[in-house]
Amino acid sequence: MADGGDVPVIGDKPVIERVAARPAEETYRSPGEWVRKNLFPTPFNSFLTVAVGLFVLFSARGLLNFVFSEERGWDAVRTNLRLIFTHAYPEEQYVRVWVCVGVVAVLAGLSLGLFASRGDGLRLRKIANGLNAAAVAIAGGIVLREPSVLVGADGETVRDGDGVVRQSFAEAMTDRWGWWLVAAILAVIALALRRVPERSDGSHPAVRALDFAVGALAVPVISAWVYPWGHYAFADGEFIAEPGRTVAMSTKLPWTVMWVLAVASLIAGRWVRSRVDERALARLRVVVSCTWLLVPFVLYWVVLRDPDLDWDRILTVDMPLALAFGIGGGIVLRWLTKDGIGEFGRISAVALLGLAAFHWVAAFMGWYPMLQKVRISFLLLAVMALLAHNFSGEAAKRRRLVLAWFVITTVFHYFATVMNTPSTVETPTEALIGGFAVTLVVAVFTLMLSFPLGVVLALARTSRLPIFRVMSTAYIEVVRGVPLITILIFFVVILPLFLPANMEISLFASATLGYTLFSAAYLAENVRGGLQSIRRGQYEASDAVGLSTVQRTVFIVLPQSLRASIPPLVGQVIATFKETSLLAIIGVFDILRMANSVIPAQTQFLGIKREGLLFVSLVYWVFSYMLSKQSQRLERRLGVGER
């Protein structure tokens, strides 16, 4: 029973959904009528139904027999779960990983509590239909699988996939009582849900979809405490496999804490939401969004990496530098937003940009040494200076600009310092983490970097200035004409050869760079599609009320075009997420490489590959499926806002 108990449940998820959706929409039709109308309307369609049905049944049986076969080495997956998700992150420091998960759980709970729309709710009846479908699927699975029992050499005894010897088919069926019980419990719950009376106002009883999801997540968490899933681990080169015990404390306790944290922050978010007004809520939204943007950097560079800060250097070099830029830049920006500075201010801003550009040229020519972060700081200041005139006049606005500059300087210098500090965490490979964590990290950083780049490329491609247009078009067309794997190999193998001697770039960084440049080209094309969908009247109206080109782009054009291009953008996000599996080829220990080469090389699990690959596909699928579901929701919600 314990083996792979979770696999069919997740695998059946779409089936549940589809089956559940039908009766809810067409309650007036009897099942027989529905079957006749939809499955057997004409002889030819009946033939197709039967043929496809048989095909599906045989495939399902094949999959079941594969998953539940006695020969399957699921222990290889179970024992190596940590390896699959985080590779060789040291055991003593593992709490850092849990802190990361916890931070994400809290933020997710808070965001959902603060912002998730109430929605229509999930009707109890629909849940009941889903549970019923699951029960039927499980029962069907039991029966479907059983005929594959092998007849023993004596022609009398039969063995099922687990290798248990049985005397008859009936016995085999009754031996599956655990699964029958699960199916029966589901069916009973479904029945109970159906019995819940309609509300007094005649509407169907329903729960919030979010609450249902959170509640459903509690099931595996609680079961880890009570059900003997077994205790498997691979730690310090030792394999531990103790079937029949509950899950190891080092797994079930953290997951329980994560669940409690998520629920608590969900409740906290809702509580705050019920107390504050619209304006405060909008401000909170900004704060939470900014936090989401910062969190990947903090989690990776600070929490996971635990930099070994050199306080002498920080106090004598880094802090003074940051202060100098913060205060100096603040004074410059305040001056640039003075009343009546007019044209002179803009000329000064362009001059600043020239100065910043000069430092970069100097760096490439090797004229004089300079800290990289000083160059970047100059560039940041120049960009802020170019935007400064938007904030001139009113004292409050000027203050906000200076404040924004302080925040940007602080954040930037902090991370620049942290990134340049060696890590205290020691791992056997060059990389800090591997497995699914590296997949997530590369995907998240790629998206965060390629998104702005893609927007800029799209704007450049639709710009009126030919130089921008030509450069952007050339870039996009070149990148789109080259396979991703080529670009990755280029960045990993060839880029380091071009770098100056004193600069080195990690495998992780060069791979992320390659992904970013690749993904940006595709994102740019998607955004361009959105840009083209904007009617000319929007530009004319923006011009007529006097918005500048930058203001028009930021306030009018981009919001509308990004909204219009959400479906392809999410498609691109999912594609990027899945394409990270190419990391395995260029030598990163990602989740695919774990399953494909690391686990099969362990002496205990020599050559066991298929289980791992199946599990990895499942992980990829679950995440991609969640992403596409979310995008559909987002689309629907934004569509409503526009109407």
Interface positions with other proteins (CB under 8 A): 343, 390, 392-394, 396-397, 535, 537-538, 540-548, 551, 555-556, 559-560, 563, 641-643
Name which of 141, 119, 133, 117 is nearest 24 in CA terms: 133
| Shortest Å distance, C-beta 535 to other proteins | 8
DSSP per-residue string spanning 501-524: TT----HHHHHHHHHHHHHHHHHH
Beta-carbon contacts of residue 2 (< 8 Å; ≥ 6 apart): 228, 229, 230, 243, 244
- Which CB contacts under 8 angstroms, 24+ apart, belong to 344-353? 345/388, 345/389, 345/392, 346/386, 346/389, 348/385, 349/382, 349/385, 349/386, 349/388, 349/389, 350/386, 352/378, 352/381, 352/382, 352/385, 353/382, 353/383, 353/385, 353/386
Nearer CB in complex with other proteins: 493/541: 541
Nearer CB in complex with other proteins: 392/473: 392
Q: What is the CA radius of gyration of the chain?
A: 29
* Whether 86 contacts 433, CB under 8 Å: yes
Nearer CB in complex with other proteins: 245/400: 400
| Shortest Å distance, C-beta 118 to other proteins | 18
| Shortest Å distance, C-beta 548 to other proteins | 8
Helical segments of 388-426, H only: 395-419
* Whether 61 contacts 145, CB under 8 Å: yes
| Shortest Å distance, C-beta 396 to other proteins | 7
Nearer CB in complex with other proteins: 195/535: 535
Nearer CB in complex with other proteins: 312/343: 343
Helix axes 342-365, 372-387, angle to 10 degrees: 160
The CA-atom distances, in angstroms, between 294 and each of 104, 247, 290 are 12, 34, 6
| Shortest Å distance, C-beta 404 to other proteins | 16
Euclidean distance between CA atoms 466 and 455, whole angstroms: 18
Strand partners, 123: 206
Beta-carbon contacts of residue 551 (< 8 Å; ≥ 6 apart): 390, 542
Q: What are phi and psi of 517, to 5 degrees?
A: -65, -35
Nearer CB in complex with other proteins: 462/542: 542
Nearer CB in complex with other proteins: 423/551: 551
Nearer CB in complex with other proteins: 26/394: 394
* Whether 130 contacts 17, CB under 8 Å: yes
Type of residue at 541:
A
3-class DSSP state of 213: helix
| Shortest Å distance, C-beta 243 to other proteins | 57
| Shortest Å distance, C-beta 271 to other proteins | 25
Euclidean distance between CA atoms 386 and 347, whole angstroms: 9
Name which of 62, 199, 47 is nearest 125 in CA terms: 199
Burial class (CB in 10 A: 0-12, 13-18, 19+), 141: buried
| Shortest Å distance, C-beta 141 to other proteins | 48
Nearer CB in complex with other proteins: 153/544: 544
| Shortest Å distance, C-beta 638 to other proteins | 9
Euclidean distance between CA atoms 211 and 389, whole angstroms: 47
Type of residue at 103:
V
Euclidean distance between CA atoms 326 and 345, whole angstroms: 19
Euclidean distance between CA atoms 487 and 579, whole angstroms: 13
| Shortest Å distance, C-beta 633 to other proteins | 18
Burial class (CB in 10 A: 0-12, 13-18, 19+), 53: exposed
| Shortest Å distance, C-beta 284 to other proteins | 17
| Shortest Å distance, C-beta 57 to other proteins | 48
| Shortest Å distance, C-beta 117 to other proteins | 15
Nearer CB in complex with other proteins: 14/641: 641
Nearer CB in complex with other proteins: 177/555: 555
The secondary structure of residue 344, as a DSSP letter, is: H
| Shortest Å distance, C-beta 463 to other proteins | 16
Nearer CB in complex with other proteins: 320/559: 559
Nearer CB in complex with other proteins: 198/543: 543
Nearer CB in complex with other proteins: 59/549: 549
